[in-house]
């Protein structure tokens, strides 16, 4: 009887090893599938951002056209919404702002013509 149990035990050990390896590979597949989906979403977002550059440029041009009609408080609120801080000391103007790299999309586009800061103040 002992002679018949040995092959069964060996088969059971091999089965457990294969089952454990299969579970590990399935988890790795799930991880890779999630990473692939995230990368595809980032690629789509990047492509959408590049495609929308002309629209963004037209919005900026319209803002530049209307910025002259805003009073000081409205201009201050616009800068505040954009996360831009302007410090004036009578002689110099310091402008600070941060663009979060997580939100930024790098794209090659022609430079925008911006309204000088003096027209904002």
Q: What is the DSSP string of 84-108?
A: EEEEE-SS-EEEEE---TTT-----
Q: Where are the domains of the chain?
A: 53-119
Write the pLDDT tens digit of every residue in 38-75: 999 888 877 766 666 677 778 778 877 877 788 888 88
Coil, strand or helix at 99: coil
Question: What are 97's two structure tokens?
Answer: 């702002």
Write the pLDDT tens digit of every residue in 2-23: 555 677 888 888 999 999 999 9
- The alpha helices in the chain, defined as continuous H runs, are 2-51, 53-67, 72-81
pLDDT exceeds 80 at position 97: no
Q: Any residues with CB less than 8 A from the CB of 93 and at least 6 apart, and which?
A: 86, 87, 117, 121
């Amino acid at each position: 009887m002992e002679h018949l149990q040995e092959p069964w035990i060996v088969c059971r050990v091999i089965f457990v090893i294969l089952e454990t390896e299969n579970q590990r590979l399935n988890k790795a597949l799930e991880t890779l599938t999630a990473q692939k989906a995230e990368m595809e979403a980032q690629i789509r977002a990047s492509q959408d951002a590049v495609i929308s550059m002309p629209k963004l440029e037209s919005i900026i041009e319209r803002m530049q056209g209307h910025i002259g009609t805003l009073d000081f408080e409205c201009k201050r609120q616009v800068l505040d919404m954009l996360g831009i801080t302007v410090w004036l000391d009578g002689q110099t103007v310091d402008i600070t702002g941060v663009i979060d790299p997580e939100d930024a999309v790098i794209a090659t586009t022609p430079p925008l013509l911006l309204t000088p800061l003096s027209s904002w103040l």
